[in-house]
Every structure is written in C-alpha cells, then in structure tokens.
Amino acid sequence: MIYSILDYGAIPDGRTNCAPAIQAAVDAAAGAGGGTVLVPSGRYYSGSLLLKSHVELRLETGAVLISSLDENEIHAFPAAPGEQPIDGWNGGFFLGARDAEDIRVTGSGVIDGQGDRVFSDADVDAGFHECPLRCAPFRPRLLLFENVAGLEIAGITLKDAAFWTLHMAGCKRVRVHDIQILNNDRGANNDGIDPDCCQDVIIANCLVETGDDAIVLKSTAPMAKRHGPCENVTITGCVLHSRDSALKIGTETHGAIRRVVFSDSVVKDCSRAIGIWVRDGGTVENIQAHHLTGGVRRYADAYDLPGAPGWWGKGEPIFVSATFRKGSALPSPGKIRRLSFSHISLDCESSLFLGGEESSVIEDVRLDEIHLRFVRQGTQPGCLFDEQPSARHIYPHTIPALYARRVKGLSLRNSTACFTGEDEAWDGTLTETEHCEDACICWHDSSSGL
C-alpha cells in the first residue's frame, strides 16, 4: 500500500518542518504491517525521521528531502530501558532506523544534508584552498541505521552531508546500489559509506564524491561490543573521489574486519586508493582488491593552524599500516594478514607502503599486475611518509616504488613502476625493505613507461 506524505499534511515549501507528517505516514505504514511511504516531487524540510520494519521510503523524481540543522529538531535514537548513551553518538541523525528489519530507501529523488551551511573556508593553507574546511559545532549524520536486517539503499542521491553520509552499524544483509553521493570534497568527516561491524554487505555501481573517505569499513568500540565483526563485504563497479582514501579499512579496529573484496572500480583523484589500518587490537584479514584504475595525489594541509587536521595520505596507491596510536598502552596494535592486490593501474605520488611493527608483523601480502606511474599531479612537494594517526605521524622519507617494514611473506610479480619527470620525492629506487621475511619481489622493466 502507498502512503503519500501529502495525505498526512506535508507541505513542499522547503521551509515548514514536515517531520510530524512524514513520521505519521511511516507509522501508519508500519502499523499496517508494511508499505511504501511516497515522497512526491517537491522540497520538504524536516527534522529527524525514524523508519520502521517493512517500510520503504520512496522519493520520486524531483523530490528533495532537506535535513534540518536545528539541534531542537534533530534527535538521537530513543534509549532502551537501562541503556547508557554511547559517547560520540549523541549528535543525532536525520534519517535512520534501529533494531528493525526489511527497510528500503529508494527512488530517484535527493536527500540534502545542507552541508554547505556547516562548512566555511578559513583560507589557512597558503592560498591553495585544498585543506579541510572549518566546521560548525553541530553536524548530524545524514543516514544512520543500527541493527537493521535486510537494508536496501537504491537509486537516490545523497547530497551535501554535514557529517557521515550513510552510516550502517551492526546491519546484516545490506544492499547499497546505484546511488550517488555528492558532497563537498573539502568537507571534514563527511565520509561516503560507512559499514561499521556489518555483515553480508554488497555495495555496487555507486558514484561517490566527498572530502573524507569514500567507503570506509570500521569496527568502532561500541558497535564491536554490540554486533561483532565486520565481514563479508563486496564493493564493485564504483567511481570514487575523496581527498582521503577511496577504500579505507580502519582506523577503528576494536574487532575483526575480514573477507572484503574491492573490484572493478575507478579511483578519481584521491589521497590514497586503498588504506588499511589496525590501531586498536583488532584483526584485519582476507582482503582482496583487483581491477582498479585512476590516480592518487597529495593535497595541501592547514599550514597556519598548529594541530589542525589535514588529509591523511600523500598519494599512496596502497597503504597498509599496523602501528601504535600515540600514547597507546596496548601490547599490540592488532594484526593484518592475507592481503591480495592484483590488476591495479594507478598514477601516484608516493610509495606502495606496507608498515608493520615488531609486535604487529604484517603477514602474507600478494601483489600481482601492479602498474604504477609516479607523476606529479598535485600542488604539494613530496619526500614525506604519513602514518597518521600514530606515534610515527608524518616524517621525511624519499619515495621508493615499494616500501615494506616488518612484513612476513611478501610477493610482488608481473608489476612495473615508471618514474615520470623530475621530482625531489623519488630517485628511481624500486624497493626498500626493513626487517622483512620471506620476500620475493620482482619488478619488470618499465623504462618505456606504462
């Protein structure tokens, strides 16, 4: 059955808070055992909306659902009896659901987070206008789903998120496909898609343009405790642009992240193509990435603000890091093992980086058909390694094609590296290793270029 929000009093003027009307339509559909809540063409401003089991929210062509940024109209999930609030989760969300099943958000309309109202350019990066923008103090998540089984997000456009765009925590049987995420590509913390301790996830045929990571798999502390590992995730057929990583795994690694496939996608001017971190004692294992193309580059940071955040990454095609957070008391940052990368062709500005520690040796890394063209694309000089966030932080280092520290079981074959143009960052060195075991590294002659 169809439940039009107009029948419940929604006014498409872009100003009136339609949350009561839209929520009434959702409640009516849920009360009838399920149905489709229809958002017709028009602009609908709204406070927080809570979806419920067996309800589809469908946005017609021309429909725009606009998120409020008023703290009085944006809410967190209702607390269960005796439940303690989770630190950092109380900023609220615009659209979401919790402890539900069979929820769909579909159509060809737009959900607008009004991020253009929370970001501003303080011009603190020596005039490059590339660093993260200054942020307003209140920034809600755009979409937040926790413990939803059978979740589908399809067809819609998510625009100008003020904070994380699509955060899914502890969700199972998830399909995200054929959506667009069009965020400010200097917006801090406006991640595209965040599966956090989710299982059985398919992300396919999506276009993501954002400032923070395009797709980032997490295992945050509260969600790892509630929902277990993040596992069985496929990402395919996407075009990803970010000033951080196209695909990031970590840094939040309080539980396991495993069985992830990233394939057949384009990496468009990111800081890194693939970044894998352990920092919090968890394990990342059984990760495959193949058939990727595009380019990665370095962006300017906020020079005039000591301690101000910058983008993580200096143009690495692949970045794998197991090291300690600054001040960490853990005996080990965690484990990274069984990684496979193949058929990857990228322009880049920094090394294929693998960095472990004595207590966190990276194990079993296979690289095949990796083709790298080192060429200046951005505005910034090189000669830096970037291991943020960690005690190692950022430090000067020349740029070999492959840098490996504390790796056991490393194989590279059928691969080329071409150094193009003169640059102080690279001197033509192909491989630099420190404390590695069982390494078999064989570059092909790439003097003629790619």
Q: What is the pLDDT of residue 84?
A: 62
The segments of the chain whose pLDDT lies below 50 read 448-450
Contact, 277 vs 356, CB < 8 A?
no
Q: In sequence order, which residues have a C-beta less than 8 Å from that of residue 141 and are 6 or more positions away? A: 91, 92, 93, 94, 96, 161, 163, 164, 165, 167
DSSP readout, 361-420? -EEEEEEEEEEEEE---SSS---EEE--SSSS-EEE----SEEEESEEEEEEEEEEEEE-
Q: What is the pLDDT of residue 78?
A: 79
Report the 10 Å Cβ neighbour count for 41. 12
Q: What is the pLDDT of residue 85?
A: 59
Contacts 24+ apart (CB under 8 A), 21-28: 22/46, 22/49, 23/49, 23/50, 26/50, 26/51, 26/52, 26/55, 26/57, 27/52, 28/3
- List the CATH number of the domain containing 202: 2.160.20.10
* Distance, CA of 308 to CA of 368 (rounded, Å): 38
Number of domains, the chain: 1
* Enclosing domain of residue 313: 113-443
Q: What is the pLDDT of residue 149?
A: 98
Q: What is the pLDDT of residue 308?
A: 62
* Distance, CA of 129 to CA of 102 (rounded, Å): 43
Would you say residue 409 lies in a domain? yes
Would you say residue 304 lies in a domain? yes
* Distance, CA of 348 to CA of 365 (rounded, Å): 20
Contact, 29 vs 9, CB < 8 A?
no
pTM confidence score: 0.96
Q: What is the pLDDT of residue 449?
A: 42
Would you say residue 60 lies in a domain? no
Q: What is the pLDDT of residue 310?
A: 85
Q: What is the pLDDT of residue 94?
A: 98
Would you say residue 236 lies in a domain? yes
* Distance, CA of 206 to CA of 445 (rounded, Å): 36
Would you say residue 148 lies in a domain? yes
Would you say residue 124 lies in a domain? yes
Would you say residue 242 lies in a domain? yes
Would you say residue 5 lies in a domain? no
Report the length, in residues, of the chain. Answer: 450
Is the CA virtual torsion 85, 89, 95, 101 positive or negative? negative
Q: What is the pLDDT of residue 448?
A: 40
